[in-house]
Amino acid sequence: MAKNRTVFFCRECGYEASKWMGQCPGCKQWDTFTEEPVIKKKMNNQAGLSQTEPQLLSDVTTDKDQRILTGIEEFDRVLGGGIVIGSLVLVGGDPGIGKSTLLLQMCRELSDKRVKILYISGEESLKQIKMRADRLGSFQGDLLLLSETNLDSIEDTIRKLMPQIVIIDSIQTMYKEDIGAAPGSVSQVRETTGILMHLAKGLGISIFIVGHVTKEGVVAGPRVLEHMVDTVLYFEGESKASYRILRAVKNRFGSTNEIGVFEMRDKGLVEVSNPSEFMLQGKPEGEPGSVVTASMEGTRPILVEVQALICQTNFNMPRRTAAGTDYNRVNLLMAVLEKRLGIQMSGMDAYINVAGGMKINEPALDLAIVMAILSSYKNRPLDNKTLCFGEIGLTGEVRAVNMAEQRVIEAGKMGYDTVLLPQINKENIGNTNVKLIGIRNIREIINSFS
């Protein structure tokens, strides 16, 4: 008997080679090649994407209303204004984070609007899905359920029923019979996603794919999977925290800077319409080392608390930790304080934390980190109604940040009457009920703690 030919695929980028290699020539990652059998198939053009004749750009028409609102405002915001008809969306996240719960809640809202939905699960039985649906609440409309992992059967069912929305939970459990590899392998994931993409584009069906994530936090399978889909969403959150964040890392139909905030409760996920209030719950008053800042997530300003604890070290090397922000950025800011203000930080342990579990890496957090460090170092609290934001350079200058006016407006809504911000931003902000204090250099803020 003839031996089946195999090739090697890179799990990260999908690079194909005839032999195993330690480093992938495509993405330069090490030890990512896996052996897969060669796939021999005939191209099926039933739901092809190509047009029989080329068209002029001026003749192509677009309809701005080709979106379906899910009824979940936080979800619609991240998608860019709703579900685009014929789109392919990948939803990733840690196990148990709430991916299936979110999509089932979306199905409940859409089924109430008489949208035809097909929910396909390869991991759970129909009874398990029913139990989760009963926990979420009553379904007024009809929802079609299918427990199947054979993609050929799934494709036939989709073509027969022609639903508007299809949920695939999850892509790692789906397989195609003429591919010899196991479900979840590079070949299976790549080929099944390609077939689903042709179905979505050719039939005008919006398909949501649930993907498992690796220990590094990225979707399992070949990296080419993220390039094939239209939108990639990540559902994030600490296992011990009640809130969840839906973030778009790729979106062909909207911004990738928007986030949706949810709170996990007994009856499912609940939208958090005011994330600033939610993040500031339990904030201590009159305590040194606690400073509130305004961060931008897309077009939405969110107020968060930055905490710092500075104490004398008992070791030869001071201990530095940072939770929720960049560790190297904290070390840089402490070096600026030591050089420009003459504060001896070399013998101090520093612990920086963004309260609530938020992860913020934007430069506008710099001024809040410096203020929190100075407050803890001098053991003097900042006024409870004062907020600050701004980027700090290596010479100690406070540089401008984007969307400063939106940050100031959000601070006023949350009851803050004083805002410390870069002087350049202050000059460009109109009349406001909030007192604005412009800062050009960090030497100007040291008087607040003297």
Domain of 305: which CATH number? 3.30.230.10
169-178, 181-190, 399-408, 430-439 — which is least confidently predicted? 181-190
DSSP 438: E
Most confident of 59-63, 356-360, 433-437: 433-437
Q: Which residue's structure tokens are 């190297």?
A: 328
- Give the 3-state secondary structure of residue 1: coil
**The pLDDT value given to residue 65:** 54
Greater pLDDT, 341 or 140:
341
Q: Which residues are 9's β-sheet partners?
A: 16, 34
Per-residue pLDDT at 82 exceeds 50: yes
In a domain, 65, yes or no: no
Looking at the fold, whether 266 and 290 belong to one and the same domain comes out as: no
Q: Check the annotation: does 302 bind a ligand.
A: no
Give the domain-ending residue among 254, 273, 292: 273
Residue 238, sorted as left (phi over 0), alpha (psi -120 to 50) or beta, turns out to be: beta
**The pLDDT value given to residue 450:** 54
Confidence of residue 144 (pLDDT cuts 50, 70, 90): very high
In a domain, 173, yes or no: yes
Give the domain-ending residue among 273, 294, 328: 273
Q: Check the annotation: does 95 bind a ligand.
A: yes
Most confident of 11-25, 28-42, 214-228, 384-398: 384-398
Long-range contacts of 430-439 (CB under 8 A, 24+ apart): 430/405, 432/408, 434/408, 436/408, 439/367, 439/390, 439/398
- Give the number of other Cβ atoms within 10 Å of residue 32's Cβ: 22
Greater pLDDT, 47 or 158:
158
Looking at the fold, whether 254 and 393 belong to one and the same domain comes out as: no
Confidence of residue 48 (pLDDT cuts 50, 70, 90): very low
- pLDDT tens-place string over residues 257-289: 888 989 888 888 999 888 888 888 888 888 999
Structure tokens at 429: 């902000």
**DSSP assignment of 345-409, as one string?**
-TTEEEEEEETTS-----GGGHHHHHHHHHHHHHT-PPPTTEEE--EE-TTSBEE--SSHHHHHH
**The pLDDT value given to residue 180:** 73
Per-residue pLDDT at 414 exceeds 60: yes
Long-range contacts of 287-290 (CB under 8 A, 24+ apart): 287/381, 288/375, 288/376, 288/378, 288/379, 288/380, 288/381, 289/372, 289/373, 289/375, 289/376, 290/372, 290/375, 290/381, 290/382
In a domain, 306, yes or no: yes
Give the domain-ending residue among 244, 273, 302: 273
Per-residue pLDDT at 237 exceeds 70: yes
Separation between Cα atoms, residue 322 and residue 319, nearest integer Å = 10
Looking at the fold, whether 267 and 290 belong to one and the same domain comes out as: no
Q: Check the annotation: does 22 bind a ligand.
A: no
Q: Which domain holds residue 251?
A: 70-273
Q: How far is CA 243 from CA 90, 236, 448, in A?
A: 21, 9, 34
Laid out side by side, the sheet with 6-10 consists of 16-17, 6-10, 33-37
Q: Check the annotation: does 19 bind a ligand.
A: no
Most confident of 53-62, 169-178, 209-218: 169-178
Looking at the fold, whether 258 and 115 belong to one and the same domain comes out as: yes
Across 105-128, b (16+ Cβ under 10 Å) vs e yields bbbbbbbeeebbbbbbbbebeeee
Looking at the fold, whether 250 and 313 belong to one and the same domain comes out as: no
Q: Check the annotation: does 383 bind a ligand.
A: no
Helix (H) or strand (E) holding 103: helix 99-112
φ and ψ of 66, to 5 deg: -80, 55
Q: Check the annotation: does 92 bind a ligand.
A: no
CB-based burial label for 148 (10 Å; 0-12, 13-18, 19+): middle
Separation between Cα atoms, residue 208 and residue 232, nearest integer Å = 10
- pLDDT tens-place string over residues 149-202: 999 999 999 999 999 999 999 898 999 888 877 787 777 888 899 999 999 999
φ and ψ of 340, to 5 deg: -85, -30
Separation between Cα atoms, residue 233 and residue 250, nearest integer Å = 7
Per-residue pLDDT at 360 exceeds 80: yes
Looking at the fold, whether 436 and 315 belong to one and the same domain comes out as: yes
Using only C-alpha atoms, what is the Rg of the chain?
26
Q: Check the annotation: does 390 bind a ligand.
A: no
Looking at the fold, whether 119 and 197 belong to one and the same domain comes out as: yes
> How many angstroms from the chain centroid is the CA of residue 353?
20
Q: Write down the number of H helices and E strands in the chain.
A: 11, 23
Separation between Cα atoms, residue 207 and residue 199, nearest integer Å = 9
Q: Check the annotation: does 99 bind a ligand.
A: yes
Helices 186-203, 151-161: axis angle to 10 degrees equals: 10
Per-residue pLDDT at 93 exceeds 90: no
Looking at the fold, whether 300 and 176 belong to one and the same domain comes out as: no
